[in-house]
Amino acid sequence: MQNKIQGTHLVIYAPSSTPVKGGDLVKLGDSFYGVAVNDLAVNETGIVDTDGVFELPKATGAVTQGAPLYVGSDGKVTATATDKAYCGRAFAAAGGSDATVKVMLNFGVDPSAYNAG
């Protein structure tokens, strides 16, 4: 197919103000996240993976499997939606004291964006 530019799960990205490390969660847009494949210096072009299950830093609090997950300003993932951006769903449960949670990145839609009624 001659008109395909690239697959949708790998995105070209260059951090504009802060370097990122391979494995870091990167905000690409409104509730659109990826994980850096390699370390990237400021303005260095690299690849961010936007699809799959990733183990990411978690804020305090338990997470149930399948729960919608959000990213706070500290970069940690939580099941609490208040003032945070949707990033996906929990692939597996995580205990309140666990430091990480497995996230199905960009999976589904943010349920808090819909008004039931």
pLDDT tens digits for range 45-60 = 999 999 999 999 999 9
3-state helix, strand, coil in the chain (%, to 5): 5, 40, 55
pLDDT band at 108 (very low <50, low <70, confident <90, very high): confident
Q: Could you tell me the two tokens for 21?
A: 């490390």
Model confidence at 4: pLDDT above 70: no
